[in-house]
Amino acid sequence: MTNSREDALELDPAQSKAIPKPWVFPVPKGTLQRIFGSSQVFQNWDDVKPKVTGLTVPLKVREYYHQGLQCLEKEDWEMAVLFFSRALHLDSHLVDFYALRAEAYIQLCDFSSAAQNLRRAYSFQPENTKYLERLTLVLYLQGQCLFEQRAFPEALRVFSQASALQPEKASFRYRCMACLLALEQHQDCLSLIAKEVKLGTTNADVFILRARLYNFLQKPSLCYRDLHSALLLDPKHPQAKVLLQMMVNQAQKALQDAGILAVQGKLQHALQRINCAIENNPLDPSLFLFRGTVYRRLQEFDAAVEDFLKALDMMSESQEGMVRQAQRQLLLTYNDFAVRSYQQGAHEEGVLLLNKALKDEQQEKGLYINRGDCFFQLGNLIFAEADYQQALALSPQDEGANLRMGLLQERMGFCEQRSRCGLWVVPGGGVGVLAWSRLLGPLGQDPLLSQVW
């Protein structure tokens, strides 16, 4: 018997014969650059050149190795794959041969085969980070090709594999987001973006992407929040400005719709539209001013007061006209709120509300008249008299104030009569004179009361 080891080391008498070259489709020049673009997330594929050093292999394997290297240098990728495959057939544990064959597959744009070879090499040497970097690069290229071919599920699977291998690289997650968007899996995309934000990303594009999603899902308040976060990271971001202007336009359209509905008396529908406007542009004080007036007309006074106060806080000194309008609406709201409280018998609450109104407006006679009415019902006739007198000082000819003053003096006269009933009938008595002045007061204040008297 012959020694098979010795036979393997001997030169093959047929090695000088030319090996037929397999026919494949030619690869256009610059294919990788076209696919990969200008991205520098990954290192250039020329940086990693596995070297075979110190190998103790059969002579035939060494021969295939040298022939494969020559083919790589000549950019004869098909023959390089053939020689490295023959070498690996003889010895399947030559790790670097898998990496070299992967390089040839990359140049042939056969990324699936390249990934398989790099996975095999990485499984033999998991401590070799160069194999891992190369593998994720190939997966990126493969996923991008699938994405351009609109094979989105397959692209998502490949990008997910790359992200699992190198979770510290956000680029793979970004490509997964793009695939989910293309597949219209919006909730899954939002979940992935939320995880990215939770990791503390400083990429404004992530917030803008989520803002666009929220705007598409008709969640303008969340959209505006993310847009604001993006502008904090990059105040000059062009896409953020475009999206912001889009939201402002949406707010103005909703405001116009709300105005038309309010004129038509459809206040609930107007409220829905103005809410939409505020969600799109929550920093516009005019929107809160409009909503406050709608709330006042709906007699939802607490909400109206809150909106007017918020609008006043947001307004600047240059918006004097709008400030005066908001203050006027706030005053009217306090007054309307007090009137309703009066009608419901909550006279003390009415006094408190009118106190707030009079704190900022002392020239409105109606406020004094209304507060005087509340005091009158509470039995605080002295305070009621002071308010009616103040109203008459502002408008001496006001019929309502004069009528109320007459009724008040009548009440005060009867009250004094009851308290001093044993003294006022004495002729010439001082108390009687005071009582008569109280009783005759209505006649002097309002001649019409003499008929009643």
Look at residue 36 and tell me whether its pLDDT is greater than 60. Answer: no
Average pLDDT over residues 277-298: 93
Residue 180 binned pLDDT confidence (cut-offs 50, 70, 90): very high
Average pLDDT over residues 202-222: 91
State residue 418's pLDDT score.
73
State residue 452's pLDDT score.
26
Say if residue 121 is in the same domain as residue 150: yes
Say if residue 200 is in the same domain as residue 219: no
Average pLDDT over residues 211-218: 90
Say if residue 49 is in the same domain as residue 197: yes
Spatial CA neighbour of 385 closest among 365, 400, 414, 407: 407
Q: What is the pLDDT of residues 306-354, one digit of tens each?
A: 999 999 999 988 888 999 999 999 999 999 999 998 898 998 999 999 9
> Sign of torsion, CA 361 366 368 370?
negative
Average pLDDT over residues 244-252: 92
Q: What is the pLDDT of residues 59-87, one digit of tens each?
A: 888 888 888 888 888 888 899 899 888 88
Q: Is residue 402 situated within a structural domain?
A: yes
State residue 190's pLDDT score.
94
State residue 221's pLDDT score.
87
Q: Is residue 5 situated within a structural domain?
A: no
Say if residue 170 is in the same domain as residue 40: yes
Look at residue 424 and tell me whether its pLDDT is greater than 50. Answer: no
Say if residue 199 is in the same domain as residue 229: no
Average pLDDT over residues 391-420: 82
Say if residue 216 is in the same domain as residue 106: no
- What's the domain range around 232? 210-283
Q: Is residue 4 situated within a structural domain?
A: no
Write 283-291 long-range contacts (CB < 8 A, 24+).
Answer: 283/314, 284/251, 285/310, 285/311, 285/312, 285/314, 285/315, 285/319, 285/322, 285/326, 286/255, 286/311, 286/322, 287/251, 287/255, 288/314, 289/322, 289/325, 289/326, 289/329, 290/255, 290/258, 290/259
- Percent of the chain surpassing pLDDT 70: 79
Q: The CATH number of the domain where 239 resides is what?
A: 1.25.40
Say if residue 165 is in the same domain as residue 261: no
Look at residue 40 and tell me whether its pLDDT is greater than 70. Answer: no
Q: Give the separation between CA 420 and CA 250, rounded to whole angstroms.
A: 72
Q: Is residue 37 situated within a structural domain?
A: yes
Q: What is the pLDDT of residues 437-448, one digit of tens each?
A: 343 344 334 333
Q: Is residue 136 situated within a structural domain?
A: yes
Say if residue 440 is in the same domain as residue 355: yes
Last residue of a domain, one of 209, 235, 268: 209
176-190, 255-269, 368-382, 418-432: least confidently modelled range: 418-432
Average pLDDT over residues 30-42: 53
Q: Is residue 255 situated within a structural domain?
A: yes
Say if residue 353 is in the same domain as residue 219: no
State residue 165's pLDDT score.
93
Last residue of a domain, one of 283, 314, 333: 283
Look at residue 163 and tell me whether its pLDDT is greater than 90. Answer: yes
Say if residue 258 is in the same domain as residue 317: no
Q: How many domains does the chain have?
A: 3
Say if residue 380 is in the same domain as residue 321: yes
Look at residue 51 and tell me whether its pLDDT is greater than 80. Answer: no
Q: Is residue 7 situated within a structural domain?
A: no
Q: The CATH number of the domain where 134 resides is what?
A: 1.25.40.10
Look at residue 28 and tell me whether its pLDDT is greater than 60. Answer: no
Average pLDDT over residues 21-36: 55
Say if residue 74 is in the same domain as residue 94: yes
Look at residue 141 and tell me whether its pLDDT is greater than 60. Answer: yes
Last residue of a domain, one of 209, 235, 265: 209
Q: Which residue do the tokens 């003889």 mark?
A: 90
Q: Is residue 13 situated within a structural domain?
A: no
79-83, 202-206, 354-358, 429-433: least confidently modelled range: 429-433
Residue 10 binned pLDDT confidence (cut-offs 50, 70, 90): very low
- Percent of the chain surpassing pLDDT 90: 42
